[in-house]
């Protein structure tokens, strides 16, 4: 029996859309109590027939909103993508990475998220100001922000000769349903997926989380029936987080009647990393490709030369001396190799 992964998503559209304040002009950053620590919890049913990942990524999505200065709907779109990539990329082969890209025709443009097996995730949205009108039911219209197009998922590993790429049409643009559809169609993974980002009346991230349920081989009909019952009657993940439930509480709701075994090695997910050393090295390499004269002209005209990372929004400044030193080192390296 196939557990239809899109079913829980379609059955409760409220789980993946969230009410925006009635007046956008009220959106502002205010001081608030710090949310609890983020966590990514991995568990099994007692009969080892169902694997569950649950993430509370409230701080993570709040950081992404702050870094990219995102409008409410753009926050929900990128937040869901980050959480989805995190769930799809964690606890896999060491050093494996997953990248998901929603290339839609909506106001948000391209929405990208990248995650590794250790719970690190980062991403960007093409238009941080994307904020289409609310849906008819008063929810944030993430589907309109993403639009129709293609969802691409790339899994890569340094020891693999080439990455695996899967592509499917965007079904709804609501992110969770599209990722669930991808898992069934491209990876033949019998699974279900839920994601949610909730904003408060000041447009700050109130809660953000998700769950990924995977059916393991030889799962019984009785287990599937109980699991489907749990998923279709369960509140949205953001509603549960807003009510104070922890990742362990949500896992218990998913596995009600099946028992729960928490596995060791739970993670604290985080945004990034874009380590300063490697990042600056890539940036100076890109700057040096402009050539000495072009760099000199920019510094003369602008008074400085700065480069900003699209994924972490960190800006670095480079001097003519730094660029010259890099080009000189490259020239010496070439001479040594050719000599």
- How many residues are present in the chain? 339
d(C-alpha 55, C-alpha 321), whole Å: 46
pTM (two decimals): 0.83
Domain parsing of the chain, residue ranges: 43-217+227-264, 276-329
Torsion, CA 115, CA 119, CA 122, CA 128, rounded to 10: 110
In this predicted model, what pLDDT tens digit does every residue of 119-149 receive, in sequence order?
999 999 999 999 999 999 889 999 999 999 9
The gap from C-alpha 178 to its chain's centroid, in whole angstroms, comes to: 13
Position with higher pLDDT, 219 vs 23 = 219
Reported CATH class of domain 276-329: alpha beta
d(C-alpha 291, C-alpha 327), whole Å: 9
Which CATH number is correct for 43-217+227-264, 3.40.50.970, 3.90.850.10, 1.10.10.410, 3.55.30.10? 3.55.30.10
Cα–Cα separations (whole angstroms), residue 150 to 88, 91, 166, 184, 310: 18, 26, 10, 16, 21
Residue in this structure with the two tokens 């050393």, named with its chain if needed? 277
For the ranges 20-29, 103-112, 251-260, 323-332, which has the lowest average pLDDT?
Answer: 20-29
In this predicted model, what pLDDT tens digit does every residue of 69-101 receive, in sequence order?
999 999 999 999 999 999 999 888 778 899 999
Which ranges of the chain would DSSP assign to H, the alpha helix?
Answer: 6-11, 58-68, 72-89, 142-146, 176-185, 221-233, 237-242, 247-254, 276-288, 292-302, 320-338
């Amino acid at each position: 029996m196939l557990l239809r992964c899109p079913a829980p998503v379609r059955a409760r559209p409220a789980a993946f859309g969230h009410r925006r304040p009635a007046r956008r002009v009220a959106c502002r950053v205010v001081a608030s109590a710090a949310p609890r620590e983020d966590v990514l919890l991995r568990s099994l049913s007692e009969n080892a027939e169902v694997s569950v990942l649950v993430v509370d990524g409230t701080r993570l999505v709040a950081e992404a909103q702050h870094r990219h200065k995102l409008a409410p709907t753009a926050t929900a779109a990128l937040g869901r993508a980050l959480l989805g990539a995190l769930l799809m990329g964690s606890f896999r082969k060491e050093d494996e990475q997953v990248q998901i890209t929603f290339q839609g025709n909506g106001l948000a443009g391209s929405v990208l998220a990248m995650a590794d097996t250790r719970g690190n995730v980062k991403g960007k949205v093409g238009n941080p100001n994307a904020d289409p009108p609310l849906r008819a039911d008063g929810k944030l219209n993430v589907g309109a922000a993403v639009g129709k197009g293609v969802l691409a998922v790339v899994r890569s590993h340094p020891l693999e000769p080439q990455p695996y790429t899967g592509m499917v049409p965007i079904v709804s643009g609501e992110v969770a349903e599209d990722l669930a559809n991808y898992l069934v169609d491209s990876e033949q993974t019998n699974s279900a997926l839920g994601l949610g980002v909730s904003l408060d009346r000041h447009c700050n991230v109130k809660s953000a989380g998700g769950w990924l349920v995977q059916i393991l081989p030889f799962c019984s009909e009785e287990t599937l029936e109980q699991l489907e019952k749990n998923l279709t009657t369960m509140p949205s993940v953001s509603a549960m987080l807003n009510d104070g439930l922890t990742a362990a509480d949500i896992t218990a709701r998913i596995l009600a009647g099946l028992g729960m075994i928490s596995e060791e090695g739970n993670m604290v997910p985080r945004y990034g990393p874009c380590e300063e050393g490697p990042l600056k090295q890539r940036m100076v390499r890109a700057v040096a490709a402009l050539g000495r004269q072009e760099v000199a002209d920019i510094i003369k005209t602008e008074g400085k030369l700065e480069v900003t990372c699209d994924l972490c929004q960190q800006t670095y400044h480079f001097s003519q001396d730094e660029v010259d030193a890099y080009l000189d080192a490259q020239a010496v390296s070439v001479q040594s190799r050719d000599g």
